[in-house]
Structure 1
Amino acid sequence: MSVKKSPGVYIAEKNVFPNSIVAVSTAVPAFIGYTEKAINGTTSLSNTPFRISTLLEFETYFGEAPKTVFSFTESEDCSVARTDRFNLYYNLKLFFANGGGTGTCYIVSVGSYSDDLNGDKLIGGIDALLEEQEPTMIVIPEAVCLQDAQSCYEIQKAALKHCGSTQSRVAILDIYDGYKDRIDPSGDVIAKFREQIGTEFLNYGAAYYPWLNTSVVGKEEISFANISNEDVEKFKAVLKLRDPNLANYIDVIGTDTDKIVLDTAHKELYKQSAFYSLIIKEMQRQINLLPPSAAMAGVYSMVDITGGVWEAPANVGLVDVISTAVNISSEDQEDLNIPLDGKAVNAIRYFTGRGILVWGARTLEGNSSDWRYISTRRTMIMIEQSIKNVARAYVFEPNVSSTWITLSSIINNFFLNVWKQGGLAGAKPEQAFFVKIGLGVTMTPQDILDGKIIITVGVAIMRPAEFTIISFQQQMQQS
């Protein structure tokens, strides 16, 4: 207390309780990709991480879905194919449907729909997150939309490196061409992924297979307006040959007439022309075929908020998902889950009577006893970053026993709270964690002279019961 020079009564308040550790948020994904726009008022949001909480906020700052354009091929089956690959908006819808609505996320827009998909731009979006502390997941669903598979793998390796360097987040990865079966003539998509993903920072990433047939885009959102201008006359000609009685509706296709007239023509053609409705359904199917990373980001967020980051994001049903692009059996999953090289890929499977479930909880470093499970890695990130944040307050404090005792007390209380919530294994606190700090315990006199406070922490992290084994045996009749 400062020296008083005037008589009177003075009140001095003293802090009794030490600072406490507030657990960092864990359910904050960052999505990197292309958007219709990127602007807040007059301020550009290009290559700038921006926090949102709802799909409406996304539409306000980043715009709506792209107008997906299809080419029409006049062949025996008259097929259609997408000519653009932008899917971030649709993935955001899948994210919010699967639990993302319970939290927040960041958007990094690296370009608009008038640009071409570019791997370097997507990597630049990863670099833009270096100064952001809050994001805990990296999701780049458009990486698998690139024409060049190698560019996709480079982006995924950059994401893993970013997560390993920051030590504060994980990358949720998709499999390139993950809608294909492993026995597809073009090659085993899982084998290619494992060959190209590298060997660095694998415990900071998790991959999921296969892609998903979703329902985020309804048939009312697709019409003949999605046929490319170059192919629209060809489309009308084929349609007239198949349904000449509907010529009055077919003639308005590609014209600049009233929207009500166009909508009426679309509805009547969809109702009366089997060929037209088949083409619309195929276009809808192609748009709704999405990689699973955004849905998994939603699952991570939902599990974190309802159960805790230490719970495995698995055995959870997916919303707005009709089916998986590839059906996987238990035998098929064996190599996915426990491959010789340890690069585990988590399966998404259909189970009769239970629906479509996430059926895997491993990182890409499946051979590691320390970092095999994604929940283990994410729990350690939460613990490390939470303690790191509170320890900043003690930088330049006296390196003496009072500081050590304070730090030890703060960290012990933090672990006690985590243990009470079920986040650490052990019947007693001393079985779940320990905190050591002090001269002759964790530090030498030279360490103190060098200005080092060294804290040693041990935690018993919860691990999922991945294999439940029930043994049965017969016993002798008793009576």
Structure 2
Amino acid sequence: MLETNIKSPGVYINELNAFANSVVPVATAVPAFIGYTPQAAYEGRSYTNVAQKITSFAEFQAIYCIPDPPAPAPPTKQYAPQYYLVQQKAQPTDPNYMVINGAYYSIVPDPNTIYHLYNSIQLFYQNGGGDAYIVSVGGYGAQSGTPAAPGTQIVNPNVKLTDLMGGLQLLLNEEEPTMYICPEATLLSIADNGTLMQEMLLQSSNMQTAISIFDIIGGKNPDPIMYTNDITTFRNNTGVNGLNYGTAYYPFIGTTIMQSQDIDYTNLFGGDIKQLAPIINPPASADPTLTTIINSIETPSGTPLTVTQYNNSLINASKLYSTIIKQILNDANTLPPSGAMAGVMTTIDNQEGVWQAPANVSIVGAASLPIRLSESQQANLNMDAVSGKSVNAIRFFNGIGILVWGARTLDGNSGDWKYLSVRRTVTFLEQSCKLAAHPYVFQPNDMNTWAAVTAMISSFLTSVWKEGGLQGASASDAFSVSCGLGTTMTSDDILNGFMNVMVKVAVVRPAEFIVITFQQQMAVSS
């Protein structure tokens, strides 16, 4: 209260703030998913090309999934990839094939029907995900009606670079997301995928609030020997800007997201049972039971059974049909790991802190890997002398299972930013302090304000140090905060309205290489 405002006799109370404002830690694990969804509408409002925050998979289903029909009808299939069995003259080089009646059949999808976002969201929540942003850039496109060429990289023409770039730009208005994830980027051409990755890295470095998590084209069906070509292509396409804000994981992971009820005969040959019938029930040795089931599906009479009931009948009547469904299910369940990694980071952040490296942990729902990398094979992924772009491996260990075995950014040769946990911790500290300093904009640029800001940031960093986020025997060893004339500012800075705060932190780094030295010594008498 100013004395000039007191004009009549009496007793007045003037309250003074005894404590500085506090720094409220920002959220560290809020991914933003960009891609295609079954639908994007809720209560008459469209959510296409809208950055919408959700807090659970139930919310995702309410907005982005097609409602289920009334019982007793089966639930709606939210994702229905189409597959074909294509007979080959010789044994295919691609491992995704079957031998049926002495002939080789490649199992290949209709590329227009392959999408990854829906299953990636499920992986995210299965691994402990929480708050997330969804940017739906459209619904699923039309089927092509033709299979992809066996052994070729799947490129979905319905997945367009312009759509995904537009969704990414919507996030320029959102400062809360801390991860950018685009699972369907691997369905673009190699050139378009490179353009999108470079744009994501550029936006991440400009915003300084989020990292970009990448999947690698070729990680689904890697060649056991030539897989390094996919890694080289990835490194060549990511550019040189914003590398410390990007991280990549390899290979894809075989999951258990889709279950047996999610794949049936309607996912084969575009739902045309006539093309499937001669394969599972050859005319020369037709099974009467199978013939009856297939005829009932083609020309139902009376009260027809549901698709689920017909499918169960086929599974019980034909071991071959059951094997085909399992093979297709394995292919459909091989997913890019970015969604799972967002869930892993969320869990680690909540349990231990953002400074804990998201590695040496398992992935919930991961059941297999398309390639089992050895220690020597991972060495070339982890360190690259030319580009320095590190790729984090997902590996299988006997007796342990599948583990995330890497914690580096794409800036692998940087002394400051090679580790993902360091990058994310510093971003967390920067953004928390930045938001806490907002109330001091337009405050007097004098010693009182400098002391308040210094005390506020110091108190916050002390709490982070106590939790294990900074290293040092004491708080003074872990950080320092400076603000004042002659230390961080000059007289010209004050005249021009600048208040400079210098914060130095000793961030904890992962013990990536543990060396245990053994040496023999001579026996000594007791």
| Structure 2 CA distance for partners of 1:200 and 1:259, relative to 1, 3 Å | farther
Per the TM alignment, residue 79 of structure 1 is displaced from its structure 2 partner at its CA by 3.4
2:484 aligned partner: 438
Per the TM alignment, residue 74 of structure 1 is displaced from its structure 2 partner at its CA by 4.2
SS of residue in 1 equivalent to 2:403 = strand
SS of residue in 2 equivalent to 1:171 = strand
Aligned to 1:249, which of 275, 290, 293?
Answer: 293
Asked whether the 8 Å contact 2:269–2:276 carries over to 1, the reply is: no
1:153 aligns with 2:194: yes
C-alpha distance in structure 2 between counterparts of 1:411 and 1:384, whole Å: 10
> Which amino acid counterpart does residue 20 of structure 1 have in structure 2?
S
Asked whether the 8 Å contact 1:336–1:345 carries over to 2, the reply is: yes
1:28 aligned partner: 30
Aligned to 1:300, which of 342, 345, 352?
Answer: 345
Aligned to 1:282, which of 297, 320, 327?
Answer: 327
| Structure 2 CA distance for partners of 1:381 and 1:179, relative to 1, 3 Å | same
Per the TM alignment, residue 285 of structure 1 is displaced from its structure 2 partner at its CA by 1.1
Matches within 5 A, 1:331-350: 331-340=376-385, 341-350=387-396
Per the TM alignment, residue 402 of structure 1 is displaced from its structure 2 partner at its CA by 0.8
Stretch moving more, 260-269 or 51-60: 260-269
Q: CA offsets per residue over residues 34-62 of structure 1, 9 Å max, x none?
A: 01111231221111111112111111000
> Which amino acid counterpart does residue 163 of structure 1 have in structure 2?
S
C-alpha distance in structure 1 between counterparts of 2:437 and 2:451, whole Å: 13
1:467 aligned partner: 513
Asked whether the 8 Å contact 1:181–1:326 carries over to 2, the reply is: yes
Stretch moving more, 331-340 or 220-229: 220-229
1:107 aligned partner: 134
| Structure 2 CA distance for partners of 1:318 and 1:229, relative to 1, 3 Å | closer
1:403 aligned partner: 449
Asked whether the 8 Å contact 2:481–2:501 carries over to 1, the reply is: yes
Q: CA offsets per residue over residues 326-350 of structure 1, 9 Å max, x none?
A: 1000010000111112100000001
TM-score (norm 2): 0.87
1:363 aligned partner: 409
| Structure 2 CA distance for partners of 1:395 and 1:243, relative to 1, 3 Å | farther
1:49 aligns with 2:51: yes
TM-score (norm 1): 0.95
Per the TM alignment, residue 243 of structure 1 is displaced from its structure 2 partner at its CA by 4.8
Aligned to 1:119, which of 136, 152, 161?
Answer: 161
Q: CA offsets per residue over residues 82-136 of structure 1, 9 Å max, x none?
A: 2111121111111111121xx2111000010136211110111110001111100
2:80 aligned partner: 67
Per the TM alignment, residue 449 of structure 1 is displaced from its structure 2 partner at its CA by 1.1
Q: CA offsets per residue over residues 370-423 of structure 1, 9 Å max, x none?
A: 000000000010011111111111111111111111111111111101101100
Per the TM alignment, residue 320 of structure 1 is displaced from its structure 2 partner at its CA by 0.8
1:137 aligns with 2:150: no
| Structure 2 CA distance for partners of 1:243 and 1:391, relative to 1, 3 Å | farther
Per the TM alignment, residue 234 of structure 1 is displaced from its structure 2 partner at its CA by 1.6
| Structure 2 CA distance for partners of 1:252 and 1:162, relative to 1, 3 Å | farther
Asked whether the 8 Å contact 1:31–1:138 carries over to 2, the reply is: yes
Aligned to 1:234, which of 275, 279, 292?
Answer: 275
SS of residue in 1 equivalent to 2:105 = coil
Asked whether the 8 Å contact 2:218–2:227 carries over to 1, the reply is: no
C-alpha distance in structure 1 between counterparts of 2:298 and 2:328, whole Å: 17
C-alpha distance in structure 2 between counterparts of 1:255 and 1:154, whole Å: 49
C-alpha distance in structure 2 between counterparts of 1:256 and 1:106, whole Å: 44
C-alpha distance in structure 2 between counterparts of 1:421 and 1:468, whole Å: 24
C-alpha distance in structure 1 between counterparts of 2:304 and 2:15, whole Å: 71
| Structure 2 CA distance for partners of 1:409 and 1:163, relative to 1, 3 Å | same
| Structure 2 CA distance for partners of 1:47 and 1:261, relative to 1, 3 Å | closer
C-alpha distance in structure 1 between counterparts of 2:296 and 2:322, whole Å: 17
> Which amino acid counterpart does residue 424 of structure 1 have in structure 2?
L
Q: CA RMSD in A?
A: 1.9
Q: CA offsets per residue over residues 281-330 of structure 1, 9 Å max, x none?
A: 12111210101100000011011100000000000011111111110000
Flag structure 2 segments of 5+ consecutive residues without an equivalent.
67-77, 89-102, 143-157
Q: How much identity, in percent, do the aligned residues show?
A: 42
C-alpha distance in structure 2 between counterparts of 1:298 and 1:236, whole Å: 42
Flag structure 1 segments of 5+ consecutive residues without an equivalent.
none
2:152 aligned partner: none
Per the TM alignment, residue 4 of structure 1 is displaced from its structure 2 partner at its CA by 5.3
Matches within 5 A, 1:174-323: 174-181=215-222, 183=224, 188-229=229-270, 231-241=272-282, 243-245=286-288, 246-254=290-298, 260-323=305-368
SS of residue in 2 equivalent to 1:157 = helix
